[in-house]
Structures are given as structure tokens and as C-alpha cells.
Structure 1
Amino acid sequence: MPMTAVPVSHAPTALREATVPADGMYEGRRTLRRLPEGTPERRYEHIDVVPQGRIIGAEIRGADLSRPLAPALREELHRALLEWKVLFFRSAHLTSDEQRAFARAWGELETNPLLARGAAEDVARFEKGGTAAPTFENVWHADVTFRERPALGAVLQLREVPPVGGDTMWADMAAAYDNLPDGVKARVDGASAVHDFIPGFARFYGPEQLVPLQDAFPPVEHPVVRTHPETGRRTLFVNTSFTTHIVGMDRAESDRLLGYLVRQAHVPEYQVRWRWEAGDIAFWDNRATQHYAVDDYAPHRRVAERVAIAGDRPF
């Protein structure tokens, strides 16, 4: 019997229609700029700066933090902080007084009645793992944005580290802003958002602990995109812990836009990750970064002490 010819398929003449979820984060090259545009690279004379990431994070060698900082050393450390956003110092092993003295070279220290106290009123102590309750981990945030004047920065020292895990990550929020689509930038430039301490702490504290502090920490408004007061860079300034809504938007629109904005910290190209050893110090610019403490070390213990430096009002 004669064979029946099989029709030959032809390549389609047009691409089929397809959609992806709105407000996604898609593949493609990202703008990764460590310094403000037009700022030249400069050598360091008093410290060795060892990059830990493409645009954020550097280990500093050659600085003794246990002694008062000479003006030239302090100036170079400050420049490194602005350029790298978070600085790491291995095996510093500072006493609480030495840690406080180092932080005071950048300004007055702030206290936080919501956190456990260390050796002094301005030292916050975090004891995690073992039988301690899990708190204040596994979320991207900037510190105390619920204050009228959020912290300039913080100095964190690990007193006790688990055998594995317990890293901390930081994200460059200037890079997060740089890579926003133009349409999103148009929506957030000039916008303000409300920050409140309740969402970040109600997960761990009851009303009896939080109600007495409401008058001391009323909700505040900050720009969604703040201008760094020293570098002039635009940084995304909303976070999961404390930002409740964008002023002037209905709740659904605000929630959708905030959800998109806070996810920008999740982009690996904007991040650095530090694996702690006991006695290490991290010093970060809270105006330019968010951070995330990784809770992956139970049942082992992790003990840290933090000193925060008072900041100014975002603009």
C-alpha cells in the first residue's frame, strides 16, 4: 500500500505570548558601583584594606582598636567605612570599654531599652542558641529606623561563636537603589514611609513590655530613599522589621510596593557575608546598609555585643 505523507512542521512565525508575575526580580547585568560616581580610587597609608565583596565589605589589617585612634588612622578608617560600608577586624578581642571607646570616635553612643544590656547601659548583648529564645535574626533590616534619628552605625563583636554557622550578611542599599527600574524610582523618589518599633518587637515581646515604651518611640516618617549625608548617594531606606506603610498610598498599593522594595536586599550581588571567629569586630554604616543575622546554628550558642552610634535625621 502506498505510504501516507506525514506533514512537516514549520517553525512558528511569531513568538507566543507569555507573562511573568508582576514586580519580579529578573536576570540580567546589574550596576555595581562601590564609590559615588566620579570619585577616584585613593591609596591607604595607615591600613591594609582587603576586599571581601565586589562593592561592599572589607577586612582591615594593621589597626590596633584597643588603643586610642591617631587622627590619621581614624580618618582612613572613616574613609574606608564610607567606601566599603562595612569593615571587619579579625581577632580584636576588645573589652566592653575598649569597644565603646572605639565606637565613640564616631559620635555619641545610644542606648536601647528594648535589648538586653551588656556591661554598660550602651552595650546591647545578644545571647542566642542553647536554651535562649530565638530573637532578632533571619530578617533583613537597618537598625532602629523607628527612631527620629536612626543610628549612624554599629560596632559588633562576637564573644562566643558556634562551631558552624552564625554568619552575618550585609547588603549595599545604594546598589539596591541604583538598580531599581526607572518607573519604580519615579514612584519612590520624594516619597515617605512610616517606621514603628512595634512590628519588629511584637514577635518576641508582649504588650506589657511594649506599651510602656510607645510614648518614647512614636511612629516616625522617613524618606523611602534617603541621601547619605557624607557621600551624597541615594540609598533605599525601607525594611521588613520597622517600615509599616508608604504615606499617601492605600494599603494594598503600599504593601505591594514595599514588598518589592524590601526584596532588593536579597540580591547576592549587593551582599557580603562574614564568617565569624571569636573576638572579631564588624563596624557598619547603618545609613547605607541592611544586615541579616543567619540563625542556622542551634543548639549551639552565639554571643555578641553591640554598641550603636547615634545618627541624624534622614533626608
Structure 2
Amino acid sequence: MATVAAKWEVSEAAPKIGSVIRTDKETLLSGEKAAEIREIMEARGVIVFPQINLSDDEQIAFTHTLGTFAHEDGEGSKDGKDAVYPITMDESINPIASYLKGAFFWHIDGTMSEKPILASIMSARALAQEGGETDFCNTYAAYDDLPEDEKLAIADLKVVHAMWRSQLYWRPEPSFAELQNWMARGSNTLPLVWKHRSGRQSLVLGATALEVEGMDTVESEKLLVRLRDWATQPQFCYRHTWSLGDMVIWDNTGTMHRALPYDHKSGRLMMRTKLEGEEAFA
């Protein structure tokens, strides 16, 4: 008896970033395509699974097919079991929703860690009537397209990252107590150019980038902003406009992302899982 071929259609989302995979739940949950998914994610940065409509338990199961399920900072577990994490501005659902306001600015998750998460997987459960899209940029492609003299100039630079810097983007005049609370998270010094074990290189930028080590404050800010502008040019970017049931996975080690503004009372709700990091910044 002939078997029915699984649905598996891969196309580009944008020239330098993003793939769209049209498939079915059974194929994803079987794990048969896990290695190919990881290859596509590393090569393209972002994968969209349109309206795949995975339940929370199915998303958890799918995450396990790709690598080690991440549990960090209170995320990823509930009552000792793996769990999805709600991304929402509704504090009745997520009590620390205000912390997520930093997500509206370009960033990489995990810049305060030695080994950042490998990837995030996010599913759309409820949408805002307007806004709420997610932007992604390919920091591998952005590095590759830099002029050679620029690559040489930044090759060995180190950047101090601090969580409090990203919070100032949305709350530029915090109380002293708020600032102290943010600063308690400390800082982390990272290479500006991440030399991955694969041999590829990417830029490490984003809202947590505080200053280039050993550089004048003004020149440091000019360099970080100029490189962010470079990396977020249209040719390196993909904007995802969500439909209910969409699931998107992105390589956190080779992309930056941000949410676009929306009405925080809209009920927009995303459910996120993560893959544990496998490689330290280097």
C-alpha cells in the first residue's frame, strides 16, 4: 500500500533572511525533519510555519525535537514541568509584563549570559487589531556585507552590555529604586564580532549594548548606532505580519528582533518556548 507523502514546501521569505515552511503537525512532531529545520534556521535565520496551530503541549513537544528545552529566569517551567511562556502586556497573565517592553527595540536575547539561547519559538494565540508585527534582521549577512576595511577595524572590539540600558529605551526617567533594580543584573562584556565555531561571523548589537570598551563615549555611541543602522537595512530584514496559529522560530545567535508597537490593551498574546544555548559568545 502506497504511503501519502508528508506536506513539506520550503520557500524564501526575503532574499537574505527567512524561510517559509508549509507542512503539517504530524511531520513537525515526528522529528523526522528536525535536522533539516536546524540547517534552514542557521542558514536563513528565521522560519515561518504559517497557521500550523500547535497547542501548548504540541509546541513543547516540537521544541524537544530540535534540541534541549530551555528553562531560564522563571521561563519554560511550571510546577516542575516544561511550559510555554506568555508574551503579553496583560499583567494578569504575565506579572512582569513591563519588563517585556524592552522587546520593542532591536535586541538579541541572552546578552547577559555566557551562552545565549540558541533559538526562540513563538506561536500567535491572539492578535492586536493594528501593529504587533515582528521584525528580524540577519546579523550574519550584515557582517558579511561590511566593507573589508570595516571588518578589520572592528574585528577585536569588545562591547559592554547591560540590561538596564535596554530598559531606558522605554522608560528614560526611572526612579532611583527602579534603576538600582535593573543595575543589579550586572553587565557582560562581549565581542562585537562573534566568531562562531561554524566559521561564520555575526555582529553582536542591540538595545543592551552600552559602550565599546576603551573607546571615547561619543565615538562608541556613534559606532554602535551606525552598525545597528547598517544591520537593520531592508536587505537584511524580514517583517512578519502575524496570522492566528502562525509559529515562528528564529536563530537567536544570528539575528536581532523587535516587536512593533500595538495597543497594550488589545489582548495580543504569543506563547514562547526556547532552545538552550549550545555555544558561548566568542
TM-score range for the pair, normalised by the shorter chain length: 0.7 to 0.9
Alignment partner of 2:63: what SS? helix
Give, as a single letter, the amino acid of the residue that structure 2 aligns with 1:314.
Answer: F
Determine the structure 2 residue equivalent to 1:103: 63
Mapped contact 1:151–1:308 kept (Cα < 8 A):
yes
- Alpha-carbon distance in structure 2 between the residues aligned to 1:127 and 1:186: 41
Q: Does 1:81 align with 2:50?
A: no
Q: Deviations over 1:63-84 (max 9, x none)?
A: 42696433x4111111111222
Q: Which is worse superposed, 291-300 or 48-57?
A: 291-300
Give, as a single letter, the amino acid of the residue that structure 2 aligns with 1:110.
Answer: H
Mapped contact 2:47–2:249 kept (Cα < 8 A):
yes
Shift of 1:246: 1.2
- Alpha-carbon distance in structure 2 between the residues aligned to 1:218 and 1:148: 13
Alignment partner of 1:110: what SS? coil
Mapped contact 2:17–2:236 kept (Cα < 8 A):
yes
- Alpha-carbon distance in structure 2 between the residues aligned to 1:81 and 1:236: 17
Mapped contact 1:130–1:300 kept (Cα < 8 A):
no
Query: TM-score, normalising length from structure 1?
Result: 0.74
- Residues 39-188 of structure 1 correspond to what in structure 2 (within 5 A)? 47-64=8-25, 68-70=29-31, 72-104=32-64, 105-113=66-74, 123-128=84-89, 135-188=101-154
Mapped contact 2:136–2:239 kept (Cα < 8 A):
yes
Shift of 1:287: 0.7
Alignment partner of 1:128: what SS? coil
Q: Deviations over 1:118-142 (max 9, x none)?
A: 8977633222389986823431111
Alignment partner of 1:165: what SS? coil
Alignment partner of 1:109: what SS? coil
Q: Which is worse superposed, 256-265 or 296-305?
A: 296-305
Determine the structure 2 residue equivalent to 1:9: none
**Gaps in structure 2 of 5+ consecutive residues:** 1-5
Alignment partner of 1:135: what SS? helix
Q: 1:200 to 1:124 in 2, by over 3 A?
A: farther
- Residues 29-40 of structure 1 correspond to what in structure 2 (within 5 A)? none
Determine the structure 2 residue equivalent to 1:236: 203
Mapped contact 2:28–2:34 kept (Cα < 8 A):
no
Question: More helix by proportion, 1 or 2?
Answer: 2
Q: 1:214 to 1:165 in 2, by over 3 A?
A: closer
Task: Pick the aligned partner of 2:255 from 289, 295, 298.
Answer: 289
Mapped contact 2:137–2:238 kept (Cα < 8 A):
yes
Mapped contact 1:116–1:126 kept (Cα < 8 A):
no
Query: TM-score, normalising length from structure 2?
Result: 0.82
Shift of 1:214: 5.6
Q: CA RMSD in A?
A: 3.1
Alignment partner of 1:180: what SS? coil
Mapped contact 2:121–2:247 kept (Cα < 8 A):
yes
- Alpha-carbon distance in structure 1 between the residues aligned to 2:196 and 2:10: 22
**Gaps in structure 1 of 5+ consecutive residues:** 1-44
- Alpha-carbon distance in structure 1 between the residues aligned to 2:78 and 2:8: 30
Q: Which has the larger radius of gyration?
A: 1
Mapped contact 1:103–1:109 kept (Cα < 8 A):
no
Mapped contact 2:24–2:52 kept (Cα < 8 A):
no
Mapped contact 2:7–2:22 kept (Cα < 8 A):
no
- Alpha-carbon distance in structure 2 between the residues aligned to 1:67 and 1:180: 36
Determine the structure 1 residue equivalent to 2:3: none
- Alpha-carbon distance in structure 1 between the residues aligned to 2:213 and 2:256: 22
Number of matched residues?
Answer: 266
